[in-house]
Structure 1
Amino acid sequence: MKKGLLIAAALLVSTVAHSFFIYYQSQGGYIAGTNDGLSQMVPFKHFLYETFHKGNLVYAEDFGFGGGIITQLAYYYATSVVFWLTVAAVSLFDVLGLITPDLELWLQLTLVVSIIRLAVVLLLATYAYRLFHVRTFHAFVGAVLYGVSVMYIRHVTFWEFFADAFLWVPLLVIGLERIIRLGRADFFIVISALMLVNNFYFAYINLVFVFVYVVFRQFIHFPEDRLRRRQQWLLYSGSGVLALLLSAFAFIPATYGFLQNERPSLEHEIDLVRFDNILYDSRLFIIPAVFILFALYRPLYRQTAFRLFAAMSLLFTALHFSPHVGSFFNGFSAPQYRWEYLASFTIGGAAAVGLSHWRFERNAFLTAAIGTIVFYLLFGLFGNVTWPVGLVIFGLMLVTVASLWWKPLLAPYIILASCLIVFNGYTKLVLHDQAIVKTNESFVNSSDYDSAEQRELLALVQDDAAPLERLDWMVPLRNNTPIVQSFLGTSLYSSILNGNLLTLYWSDLEIDMGRESVSRYGTLGNRANLHHLLSSPYWMRHNNVASEAPYGFTLLAESDRYAVYESETRLPFVRTTTSTYRQDALKDASILTREQAMLTGVILEDGNEAPLPAQSLNFTMEATDAELEAETLRVTMDDGGIDLIPDVPATATGDLYVSFNIRKLEGDGFFIKLGGYRTTRKPEASIYRTDLTSMTLRTPMSERIPLRLPEGTYALENVTVEWEDYATLTNVLQETNQRPDIPVTWDGPDLDFTIEDAEPGTYAVLPVPFERGWRASVNGEARDVLPANYAFSAIQLDQGRNEVELTYRPPFFRITTAMTLLGLVLFISYLIYVRRKEHPFT
């Protein structure tokens, strides 16, 4: 095949593979899972494009409470090669006035990028397979088996950036073969460095593949191999070091972001084996019939290349059934099945070699054909396959087997057609019908995602708010609503987050989010103190829960469905204090005590004062449709539980903070209602639970507080009730109002403010998340940025006037920049060296 014909074929096959999604998008649909697709993938692409065009390449103040772009978004798109190429193209069309780069455009671009990406994958895999003495057309067929696989389109639909992983495997194989055959590591170094920059998570998976491939190549040799084993390992090691140096500027901060993230360890046992019907209806990995036939056809094992690819394919197929392997590829966390594209690549290679070296031998073929049919019968009968799917897959298998018997020249075309049929059938029946049937223009513009009614109220708030003031609002279950609707919010959903913020929510302040889940934070638990401390004077909810507005908030505006409340008072963005409290001394203090300490001073690792404890109340408990014995609560009907009756004066105002430890003994998920507030806890088997049982919920003052639960048996321990009369907040507001305003400028990585007449021992306290990478100067002199109030920042000031400047750079910026520059020098030196020798190291 000529190059032009090969490129055209790759684009044609890729387009046909996406034919159902092309039709779906023409009808107003979008290729994005209703959960992560709409909540993360598309919003993050739009967000990063807008952030980059503002000139913010390393930090964004509107990423939740603020966060480093590389440390928290490199897992997604921040350093993705494909995304940066897309940004370049979109920017060009934007400058020419041909497009509007809004959220809808990024929804539509998923299809275009996927078609182009898959075509490139086919071309790269074809080139890789040709290195093993495979005809171009047969290599292309093998590439289709690799790229046009169910995992590719599954990734595109749910976690679009996952699909980029398909690009690197053939490139790595090309680089490895250049080392083994030519003694040249230049290509492998460049590809490895780009892969490490692109995505550290899939770099880990791909490097495992590199190790497996290299080990197999130690025992399976080709006539072209020039390097001895020892020389190969020297080049592998040196290449790895150079690639790490070149990628250090992005790879190290991204890895640091992953390591400082907080995620509970998996508590329940991992199954030894997990059955998956890989011949018919697996959602992850469907083996083509041609590979089953070839794997059973003994004459093909005379080919060295077939032995290489078949052996790796059989290994990866066996590993697919092990959840422990899924855990290994997911960083020894909960099993995730994202690595099976490695098996698709080796299967494609085996098929390409088998087609190119096909020689019909009757007895061997009959044995292989019968064995293939038996496998399909067994998996079909015992795999709970639906009849329509089973008949189609079984029929395609029979046609494939028959073609290799009667018309071998026709077999590649049948394999291509079968692959496209399975791909589009999976797209329609699994991805569309079961997952994204509602992902369309109507849903995206609905109240479940981003409605015009919500936008109108948001516009009103943004007109009213000061530049750094936040709004506590998110569409239920969508913590990235602030990114979607472009406002400063209090919620975020990402697999990699600032670990300090997560522990703040989970344990330091026990801020309930309305549901239990990892990888996200959201809302401030309707707690007025936190709204003041974190510059969040606006609160928006559905009308039916408006009664839960934080204390002191009054109605600002409302629509048919929603209401916006505003705090009548404000604390400044930058507060100053001379009172410091030691964080360790507050370990046994109540949550409300910690809140009040944050108001009256600042909590530091080396504070020196003790805060006054919050007002604890006596109370009694009465069971309703439940039985309470010691610390065991048996709820006999849904919405049963206990009533808490606090001992407070009849004229008391303010809020009550109710704290308790709770766990459902049956282990399933459950809801909790306290007064008018409702939250949920996940089943103990869920991989997304926080594994924390301690809770603190705020509720408006009441003589009787109903705590309601579903039917079941609960361990209910350490119940306490505290009274927040907001005297502390009122006093702090009065003191603050007597001080001059502190103008603040915060633009991405730069934050500046000036404080006049600071007393000795004064600290400036900011609601800016503490993160490695912040540097401060006070009156031109370097000053440490201190972790304060568990997750935020403080700076010690000088007496008198203080001009404060904060600047953010990615963690280890100077070291990683030096490493990358050193890597460039060494790599250029290596290129100069190898140009002088035709075959270095051989």
Structure 2
Amino acid sequence: MKAPFSAIHLIVLISVLSVLSHSYLVWRFLSPTDDKLKVFMTGANDGLEQMLPMQLYLYEKFREGTLFYDTDFGLGGDFYTDLAYYYSTNIIHHINMILVRVAEFFIGLDVASIDFWAYNAFFISILKTFLIIYFTYRFLKSIGSAPIPALVGGFIFAASPTYFRFTIFWSFFSDVFIWLPLTLWAIEILIRKGRRGLFIFAVAATMINNFYFAYYQFIIALVYLGVRLFFKKSGDASRIDTLKRAIPSGLLGAGISCVAFFHAVRGFFNNDDREYEVTVPLVSELGWQDNIFYENYLIIILFLALQALFTMKLYRHYFFRLFAVLTIVFMLFTLSPYVDTFFNGFQQPQKRWHYMLVFFQAALIALYLSKFRTIPLKQYLTSLIPVYIIIALSAWIKGDIVIWVWIIPLIQFLGYLLYFRWGNRPLVQSAHISAIITYVMMVAASHTESQIYHDGITDRNHLFYINSNHYASDLQEYNIDWIQQRKQPEQKIDYKVKEQDNTPLYMDFNGTSLYSSIIDGEIIDFYYNDLKVNIRYESISRYSTFQSRSNLFSLFNVDYMMRGKHHYGIPLKFSPIKEDGTYTVYENTLPLPFVRQASRIYDPDELEGPLEREHAMLKGIVTDARPPNASEPSPENIMGEIEIAPQNASYTNGILEIPSDDGGFMFDFSNIEAAEESDVYIEMSIELMEPIKRFTIDVDGYPNERLFATSKYRTYADDLLYRVKLKDKIPISFPEGRYAVDIEGVYIEDYDLLEQQSRKEPPSYTVTEKANSYIIELDDPEPGLITVPMIFREGMTATGDASGKLDTFRANYLMTGFETEGDSVVTISYTPPYYWTTLLVSIVSLILSVFWVPAKDFRKKGK
């Protein structure tokens, strides 16, 4: 089955296979005439809510030359560090951005909409598939596979259900399919030929591209290298010589990655650190969908791998034995959530390591096909038995026969024909390989149809949806543009489309919401602990708006808001300024200036509750960077002055029993005298004891969606604060269940203090935003402490035209504070901490690598 290829033939073959692997997805997109049926290669959940908005956002930053920080990244922040988990340091995405920029520049390609990036998903996936097949081919050739089986092995890996699941839902996940074969190929070259250059490159590229999967890669590379050193093969270099080359090369590769990897890891550790508090079982509770041989939601072990595992004669071959053992071990790993936890950094169990098993079976099948004609006929026929037993049992348990089952007998029959000395006949060989490739495509298509392109996905990931009011309609964008023309650059707009927390990223405005797995932990602390801003949807990965609390809107310069017809919770101090029958635009009637001088300094440790902290921020500055000189009285807790009675429920010793939905509490404020335009702040500790389920706490029409107790994304923030407009009776209702409830406080906020601060004569200033800095020009500068509602990050600097570098510090929990001596112009900029140091390490490591890698490494071609 050996058929050496020229470079051109190899490129053509891999290109054809790359396109073929996407044939089902391309057909699902191109064949329908209705836009509602043109399915994009992007998941409707994280794909549309995270992947595409982030790709577009980072491209816009790339094009304008903004490197690290922008106020339009959620509330503001370091997107270079926080999005390193996704795309900000991602090599594939940067290559893609360069190609897109070239196309935009030379042919005028319109890349400013989500539509383009949805189309682009097909292109970049095919490009990635090319690289996956190529590197897998080179690795398999290096361990003795024949060329055609090596190509088939590459295709099996690249066209696997796991690849498409990763790519469609979280496109950066599938980049690891490129780096795994490249890394193992580099290790083989290092062991057998002593060449170091490719290993350095593989380590550096893996660590730069994604720090999270670099951890996975480190584990499997260490295991593979350890096995290869412990069980040496003839022709390998000595263990000592290999380690002498591997360790320095690995360190140099890590050094080259430092400017990306270090900051990505720092972002991870800056993230919220809530622990997963659910007991992980040793063995999974298995159902029909956990069957890795049939209709598993993530991975399908091909029947060829089963035949290979039951072909005893081939175990005499070193690499066949190696990959057979790895395949068996990792198949057993699928049974234990402990393994999922281990690969996920000992956090909540995640099945993201399965790509390794896919690769092992692909390598096993390639080696099997390479030795195919050496298998005794009896062993070949015997190996078919477990295949049919497993498939028959799987179909019986599932109650359905998947379409790809019917091609298995054909492939086996063609394989049988090879035993009648037809192996040298090109027609039989071509038919056998073509049938295998068709089978792989059918498995991928069937899996995509049933496990990925199902209802709930296909009704949203299409062109009609992303141009509708569910995502980004013309009317929504028109209204946003109308506000943009009215507001000052530093003012924010509070708006998101339903659950699309990344609306500001793809509609290009300065908003208040973000959906990302990595969020600065200070922001999470602000929302959940310091100010207890109760977000409608509980999640450790999202934040949005300010719970309709006027003080916070004003403090953070959120002076415009847009809401649809069925809105709730408009802040008291916002008034409508535009209505079109579908959307209403509101303006803050009590805004605060972007630049605020402060003489009162409050110690954050001395402020006890959210409302007390709001008042302190309005009156002065809350910081531990300066000695305090003021204190804030606690607001009056009126809980003893109102009547709180259970409704359709019983409440005893802190336990609330709800026999049927809509039971809860009724808060009676009819005896309370307060300003007509006032809010009520209700602090409660709430935990659902049983049953385990999602539930909604309805607070006078405000639905607070809470996750079930075992959810991977639960915040564990059960001390909640609800803001409600004051009226005589305020109901709080729960679904059926048993709850531990502690009502901690009830407070009235009339916003008199906000009005006083808003009516003060503001300082005269202008704010100019540039690519990597913000320039504040003050007409009548005075020395003193200043706060600006720009999210503070370590690395923030302020420079005055008269004073030079100013002392910057965290103020008001999230904001940036600095002290001036009467500077007229202050320039605020940001560079991640240790950035220049890490850049120097990367450059030095790159230079040392050039000297460490012998010249012959560049002359010889790796095989």
Normalising by the smaller structure, the TM-score range is: over 0.9
Which of 512, 520, 523 aligns to 1:501? It is 523
User: Residue by residue, what CA displacement relative to the aligned partner does 1:765-804 show, whole Å, maximum 9, x if unpaired?
Assistant: 1211121221223434333321122222211233x34542
Tell me, yes or no, if structure 1 residue 361 matches structure 2 residue 361.
no
Which is further off, 653-662 or 367-376?
Answer: 367-376
Q: How does 1:124-523 map to 2 (within 5 A)?
A: 124-225=135-236, 227-274=237-284, 275=286, 276-358=290-372, 359-381=374-396, 384-389=397-402, 392-407=403-418, 409=429, 410-438=431-459, 439-523=461-545
One-letter amino acid of the structure 2 residue matched with residue 376 of structure 1: I
Aligned counterparts of 1:205 and 1:672: Cα–Cα separation in 2: 39
Could you tell me which of 81, 87, 95 is aligned with 2:91?
81
Contact 2:327 2:361 in 1 (8 A): yes
Using the TM superposition, give the Cα deviation of residue 455 of structure 1 relative to its aligned residue in structure 2, in angstroms.
Answer: 1.9
Indicate whether 1:552 and 2:563 are aligned. no
Of residues 615, 618, 621 in structure 1, which corresponds to 2:644? 621
Instruction: Check whether the contact 2:803–2:823 (CA below 8 A) recurs between aligned residues.
Output: no
Query: Who is 1:657 aligned against?
Result: 681
AA aligned to 1:242 is L
The amino acid across from 1:357 in the alignment is K
Query: Number of matched residues?
Result: 827
Match of 2:610 in 1: 591
Residue type of the alignment partner of 2:477: R
1:651 is displaced (CA, Å) by 5.0
What is the SS of the residue equivalent to 1:615? coil
Residue ranges of structure 2 left out of the alignment (5+ in a row): 33-37, 420-428
Q: 1:526 Cα shift?
A: 0.4
- C-alpha distance in 2, partners of 1:14/1:829? 37
Q: Deviations over 1:473-496 (max 9, x none)?
A: 111211101112211110000111
Residue 813 of structure 2 corresponds to 790
Measure the CA separation in 2 of the matches of 1:630 and 1:790: 36
What residue number does 2:35 align with? none
Is 1:700 the equivalent of 2:710?
A: no
TM-score (norm 1): 0.95
| Aligned mates of 2:395, 2:468 — CA distance in 1 | 42
Structure 2 CA distance for partners of 1:541 and 1:302, relative to 1, 3 Å: same
Aligned counterparts of 2:858 and 2:23: Cα–Cα separation in 1: 50
2:172 aligned counterpart, secondary structure = helix
For 1:113, the aligned partner's letter is: I
Q: Are the equivalent residues in 2 in contact too, given 1:470–1:537 (CA < 8 A)?
A: yes
Which of 772, 777, 782 pairs up with 1:749?
Answer: 772
Change (3 A) 1:585 1:6: same
Paired with 2:117 and 2:487, the residues of 1 have a C-alpha distance of 29
Once the two structures are overlaid, the 10-residue window that deviates more, 528-537 or 83-92, is: 83-92
Aligned counterparts of 1:16 and 1:431: Cα–Cα separation in 2: 19
Partner of 1:713: 738
CA apart distance, 1:693: 0.6
Task: Give distance in 2, aligned partners of 1:326 and 1:536.
Answer: 42
Could you tell me which amino acid in structure 1 is paired with residue 146 of structure 2? R
Matched, 1:668 2:693: yes
Query: What's the TM-score once normalised by structure 2's chain length?
Result: 0.92
- Secondary structure class of the residue paired with 1:524: coil
3-state DSSP class of the match of 1:279?
coil
C-alpha deviation, 1:837, in angstroms: 12
Quote how far apart the aligned CAs of 1:217 are.
0.6
Q: Distance in 1 between matches of 2:379 and 2:52?
A: 51
Report deviation, 1:222.
Answer: 3.1
Alpha-carbon distance, 1:405 to partner: 2.7
Contact 1:572 1:741 in 2 (8 A): no
Kept after mapping to 2: 8 A contact 1:31/1:107: yes
Give distance in 2, aligned partners of 1:590 and 1:664: 24
User: Contact 1:290 / 1:400 at 8 angstroms: preserved in 2?
Assistant: no
Asked if 2 retains the 8 angstrom alpha-carbon contact of 1:263 and 1:518, the reply is no
Taking only aligned residues, the RMSD between alpha carbons, in angstroms, comes to: 2.1
Q: What are the residue-to-residue correspondences of 1:757-776 with 2, within 5 Å?
A: 762-776=784-798
Structure 1 residue 725: Cα displacement: 1.2
Alpha-carbon distance between aligned partners in 2 of 1:470 and 1:743, rounded to the nearest angstrom: 16
Residues 364 and 836 (structure 1 numbering): CA distance in 2 closer, same or farther, change over 3 Å? closer
Deviations 1:427-464 (A, max 9, x none): 22222134531211111122211122222221221121
| Unaligned ranges ≥5, structure 1 | none
Q: Equivalents in 2 of 1:176, 1:17: separation in Å?
A: 28
Q: Does 1:18 align with 2:22?
A: yes
Q: 1:7 aligned to 6, 11, 35, which one?
A: 11
Give the 3 Å change call, closer, same or farther, for CA 651–255 of structure 1 in structure 2: closer
CA distance in 1, matches of 2:417, 2:708: 56
- What do the CA deviations read for 1:565-611 (whole angstroms, capped 9, x no partner)? 1112321112110111111222xx12111111111111112441321
Take 2:241 and 2:604, find their aligned partners in 1: how far apart are those partners? 55
Aligned match of 1:121 = 132
Query: Which stretch of the first structure deviates more once superposed, 430-439 or 717-726?
Result: 430-439
Structure 1 contact 280–393 (Cα < 8 Å) conserved: no
Moved more, 775-784 or 292-301: 775-784
**Alpha-carbon distance between aligned partners in 2 of 1:604 and 1:414, rounded to the nearest angstrom:** 69
